[in-house]
Structure formats: C-alpha cells, structure tokens
Copies of this chain bind each other. A is one copy, B any other.
C-alpha cells in the first residue's frame, strides 16, 4: 500500500535533487502538491540557466501557478529538500503558500537564520523530513567540487 505522506513526496523531491547533482547543480529538488496530487516538480537550475533566481522552489511556484491558473497557492504544499532561502520564502509569501515541508536545514543561507517572520503568517512550515538524505547529496556535491579543484 502506498501512503501519500510527507516522506513519500520528499522522496520524490530527493530524486529531483539527485538529478540536479548529476547535472552539476547544487542538489536541491522540489515537488508541489495540491490535494495529494503532484502539480509541479523541479530542481535547482541556476548553472544550466545561468540565472541565480532559478532555485527549485521558484521554478515549482511558477510552474504550479501556471498549472492551476492562479498566482495564489493557498491549498498547496511545497516539498523541498533544503530549507528555503530569503528569496524563496519571499516568493512563498506572495503566493500565500499553504504549507512548506523541507528536508535539511541551511544554517548559512536558510530564511530562518535571517528571520522566521519572513514567511507568510498563514504558511505552515515543517522541517527535518529525510534531512540526512538531503545532507548526503549536498555533501556529495561539495566533495565533487573539491575533487575538481584538486584539494
């Protein structure tokens, strides 16, 4: 029996993050869900698009809004493998996102370090879902960067 719980959708987001890793991107993946239905999947594409705004969350928000034909995503849950940054939490504010579930914390660039109040007051946030799987991918990315640079 398939249980459509937070881990189910986070695993899907992790597969997106893995694909990003294969493409040489900082491995972050996202899935947008509305009523147990996946309406958008995305992964970090900042290198591919040479666009620093092309975070997984931004692409998921834009794609989901296109999908449902509304700029508001009040009924949606965003699964993302890494804690959102200031830009992405700002985007979720405007979209009035219903819920955010993230994997690993980002103590350096995560929005919580900048200010928990940056999220929309109606957006529920849960962190730490399959966090170690996400951290493992980030670790592999920085290992490969170090290897390429020869140190």
Contacts and interface: CB of A to CB of B under 8 A. Distances in A.
Interface of A: 46-47, 49-54, 58, 61-62, 65-66, 69-72, 85-91, 93-95, 114-115, 117-118
Tell me whether chain A's interface is mostly helix, strand or loop, or mixed. Answer: helix
Given A50-B65, A86-B89, A87-B88, 11 more contacts: A46-B94, A50-B69, A51-B65, A51-B71, A53-B61, A53-B62, A53-B95, A86-B90, A86-B118, A87-B90, A87-B93
Number of copies: 2
A88 B62 CA distance: 15
6 contacts: A85-B90, A86-B118, A87-B87, A87-B90, A87-B93, A114-B115
Nearest to A55: B94
A142 to B, nearest CB: 18
A9 to B, nearest CB: 21
Contacts of A70: 50
Contacts of A72: 52
A66 B51 contact: yes
